[in-house]
Structure 1
Amino acid sequence: MGTDRRNAGGRGFRRTAGAAVALAIAVAAAAGRAAAHSGSLGGSVASATVPTWLVILTGGVVVGGSFLFTSLLTDHDAMRGVNWWRITVPTPARLREIGAFTLRIGSVCVLLLVLATGFAGPRTPTRNFALLFVWVGWWAGYTTTTYLVGNTWPAVNPWVLPADGVRRLRDRLLGDGEDPSIPEQWGVWPAVAGLLALVWLEVVSPVGQNPRLLAAVVLGYSLVTVAGAARYGDVWFERVDPVSRVFAAYGRVAPFQRGGGNTDGDESTGGEGVVTLRLPGTALTEDPLPDRPGEVAFVVALLWVTTYDGLVATPTWAAAVEPLVAVGVPALAVYAVILLAGFAGFLGVYRLAARKVRNTADTYVTARAIERWFAPALLPIAAGYHLAHFLGYFLGLAPALGAVALSPFAPPTTLALVLPGWFGTVKLLCVLGGHVLAIWVAHSLAFELFPGVLAAIRSQYPSVVVMIFYTMSSLWVITQPYAPPPYV
């Protein structure tokens, strides 16, 4: 019976995943031509005002210099004193339950409003609540809070209550039963595929400019998510849902963390119900990623998709892709191939660095374990680049969102806020800040994994080279002006 149920669970999961894939293909086909960087609502982030070559060179020097500085810090106890510092924030259980329920009710109402204004609201992008809320308020603004403050998505997730309701109704009609399981060998690869698919869909379709299309995508995603969570339980959000995993990954960078963490032998402050205030990024220095297929790939994918989202809106991309489209190569295929090739390249570079770490540290630790151990150090890079990529976008369109939110079905005429020229420097500082924090996290992880000082320092040589590569790539992208391809 158990085997039959697991097989049924695997078949059911494939049907659910197949429905999601069919939806993505249908939306992309309906979109027709590729609409690069559609989530930008026309592109609102200004490029840097300093020479590109100087920005890139300076970024590489800053990251390299940060490594040289941290390599002088070899007092392991002092590093642990920084990384393990925390303040426990009182959070009564009853207050957490009421707060989470209230937030979920509110988020369901906002989701319904997004669907209503998407299907029936104004078609003008800067006057449509659904477009402004999803791209400006949620993907740009809310995502920023997950790594600057803390991950509140488990309490906000609008699909939890509907999924619980469907599950209770199912159990009442069919009787209680064990939830089918997703095959363990799949790990979190479904979430990796989902993240890549979502970004591809955002890039190749006008989902950031067409409120009707956006509403259809949100509705389809909601149906798939509710069905999956109702059938498989919380494991759906842990291993399949890319949105939940993105926020969970970013949340590890934040200063507010759930759980007491490592308290140097004192377990009195541990537990999932505890909220602690820590220095940003220090939570990454304690626990490696779970030993599960796809965990490292998801972190690398998170780093790559933000880079890709900016890459497709550069003049270089337009110049490279336009000749291919002109001779009849489908733009959808071009975007998909580059998305997958870039992801494979980023993942390959990281795995190569992990093997080099094993050699330079002269350790018995396997390359696979090293990959999992140091992967959290990539998260501050992803967060820093997301902040650089979307901060100006959020600030520029936040006034429009506020005005439209007051009257979503009859919004006033809105204008975007024009940011000053020096804002490009803020973007550069966001990228560099994320990379400097990543250097500290990698340095701390090295001293936790390898015995002695020399092995820990030598192990970081390949990682620093990879981080400089990521830094210079990110800086090059954000210094480029917004340039949608001429075939859009």
Structure 2
Amino acid sequence: MTQPSVAVLAHGLGGSTDLPIPYSYALIGAAWALTLTFAVVAFAWRTPRFDPDRPGRPLPDWLTRAVDSQISRAVVAGLALALAIWVVIAGVAGPQDGRNALPGAFYVLLWVGVPALSVLIGPVWRVISPIRTVVRLIPSRALRGYPEALGYWPGALGLLAFVWLELASPNPGSLTAIKIWLACYAVIALGGALLCGPRWLSRADPFDVYSVVASRLAVFSRNRDSGELAWVNPFNHLRTLPVRPGTLAVLAVLLGSTAFDSFSASPDWRNFADGLGVSPAVTRSIGLLVFVSVVGLSFWGASQATGGIDRARRRELPGLMAHSLIPIVVGYVFAHYLSYLVEKGQQTVIALFGLHDVEVGYVLSAHPGVLASLKVCFVVAGHIAGVVAAHDAAIRLLPSGHQITGQLTMMLTMVAYTFTGLYLLFGG
């Protein structure tokens, strides 16, 4: 089996080469889907239907006891810590070339795999985080509380640091660069946890924050009154996203960086960047910041462009509506990184555990029509879910005379996100 190069592992798979669906067909389908969805919810959905306090259907008691067992959690955390140590050893002692498993573990299993698992079963990083495990093993008391005014801003900056390394740094596949990033992450995460307690990890650990955001689409959660595990409506679960300073910034980084990853692979971007005559790292850094800023400012502006509310409520709207971006983020991330996760993930596991006799199953690349259809479905389904979540939030938050007109700018913004996402996946 031919080993993948480190540089390839440093980027997601996107573009139109493996998507044999005409771009115009994808746009027409998305336009009809969003228009019909908005029409239905606008005229048939007059009262809020999603309630984060609504209990779900309880799962068997033995399952809740097994998940909450200190023994089972210690075993899972211990295995995750052992895997993290093994990855570090492989990165340091393994071959310092494209055969090294560290980039794949970093860019595939951690960055794509953990959020994907969180969408399925919940915020898994809080259980498997090696930093949390180490903090539990160190007998110490926090020297001060976490400054609540910081909210999720440290986590948003950590996410931006990761995507900068992946998408804009001079050599994202460099083993040295990855090791330095991980060392800085470990020092900041561990030092902050020892200073401010575990709440630092909940707010400032970028992987923890990402896992929590993705988990709001999971069908598993806990009933608030009893704490038991339950099947829940994901739309009810979405509304449990904590509204703190920096919540919108986190989602803007996730969506904007994924969009830039697609755009930076297009010929238009390459021709533009090459014509500037400056360092590619500089142009990519500026491009990444522009994409993240456009997502954040456009959503903020759409949230502000409504009448009938006072100034205090207007300031709160971006955070109160931010959960409606989660389906869009998850849909676009899955569309962009699906083949990356499935196929590069296999290559990473093979390299990490020395399973050289195992062949990679290119199940998606071998069926480009299926892959294309899945990508379109992820993008369109994510945006439809976003429209539904935004509508329900709007009729809950806006006065009766503005519940429809107040949503028009948000609807147009989400349409723009849809068309831009499909263009980057197909037309770009």
Q: Where on the TM-score scale, by shorter chain, does this alignment land: which range? A: 0.7 to 0.9
CA contact (8 A) 1:104 1:161 kept: yes
Partner of 1:201: 165
CA 1:44–1:128: 2 relative to 1, 3 Å: farther
How much has 1:391 moved relative to structure 2?
1.1
Partner of 1:429: 377
- In structure 1, what residue type is equivalent to 2:115? T
Matches of 2:68 and 2:248, distance apart in 1: 35
Q: How does 1:45-444 map to 2 (within 5 A)?
A: 47-74=18-45, 76=47, 79-80=49-50, 84=54, 86-89=56-59, 90=61, 91-92=64-65, 95-123=68-96, 125=98, 127-166=99-138, 168=139, 171=140, 179-205=143-169, 209-257=173-221, 259-261=222-224, 267=225, 269=226, 273-285=227-239, 287=240, 289-290=242-243, 292-324=244-276, 327=277, 329-357=278-306, 359=307, 362-364=308-310, 366-407=313-354, 411-412=356-357, 415=360, 417=362, 418-422=365-369, 423-444=371-392
Matches of 1:73 and 1:215, distance apart in 2: 54
How much has 1:476 moved relative to structure 2?
1.1
Aligned residues: 416
Q: TM-score, with normalisation over the residues of structure 1?
A: 0.77
- In structure 2, what residue type is equivalent to 1:388? A
Q: How does 1:8-19 map to 2 (within 5 A)?
A: none
How much has 1:54 moved relative to structure 2?
3.5
How much has 1:55 moved relative to structure 2?
2.3
Matches of 2:339 and 2:189, distance apart in 1: 31
Matches of 1:45 and 1:400, distance apart in 2: 23
Matches of 1:139 and 1:341, distance apart in 2: 22
Measured on the aligned residues, the alpha-carbon RMSD in Å equals 2.9
How much has 1:180 moved relative to structure 2?
2.4
CA contact (8 A) 1:385 1:431 kept: yes
Unaligned runs of 5+ in 1: 1-34, 262-266, 482-488
CA contact (8 A) 1:249 1:379 kept: yes
Matches of 1:100 and 1:129, distance apart in 2: 27
Q: TM-score, with normalisation over the residues of structure 2?
A: 0.87
Q: Deviations over 1:127-181 (max 9, x none)?
A: 4332333333332233212123322111111111222334x2xx4xxxx5x5224
Matches of 1:412 and 1:212, distance apart in 2: 29
CA 1:41–1:84: 2 relative to 1, 3 Å: closer
Q: Deviations over 1:238-269 (max 9, x none)?
A: 22221111111111121112x324xxxxx4x3
- Counterpart of 1:39 (choices 10, 29, 42) is 10
The 3-state SS of whatever aligns with 2:186 is helix
How much has 1:371 moved relative to structure 2?
1.2
CA contact (8 A) 1:374 1:442 kept: yes
Unaligned runs of 5+ in 2: 1-5
Partner of 1:465: 412
How much has 1:96 moved relative to structure 2?
3.3
Q: Deviations over 1:453-474 (max 9, x none)?
A: x532332211111101111111
CA contact (8 A) 2:302 2:410 kept: yes
Percent identity of the aligned residues? 22
Q: Deviations over 1:97-120 (max 9, x none)?
A: 222211211111111111111122
CA 1:214–1:479: 2 relative to 1, 3 Å: same
Matches of 1:46 and 1:346, distance apart in 2: 26
**Residue 448 (1) aligns with residue 402 (2):** no
The 3-state SS of whatever aligns with 1:253 is coil
How much has 1:289 moved relative to structure 2?
4.0
CA contact (8 A) 2:50 2:236 kept: no
The 3-state SS of whatever aligns with 1:276 is strand
Q: Deviations over 1:354-399 (max 9, x none)?
A: 1213x2xx23362112112111000110000111111111222343
CA contact (8 A) 1:206 1:213 kept: no
CA contact (8 A) 1:117 1:128 kept: yes
CA 1:37–1:245: 2 relative to 1, 3 Å: farther
CA contact (8 A) 1:377 1:441 kept: yes
CA 1:349–1:94: 2 relative to 1, 3 Å: closer
How much has 1:434 moved relative to structure 2?
0.6
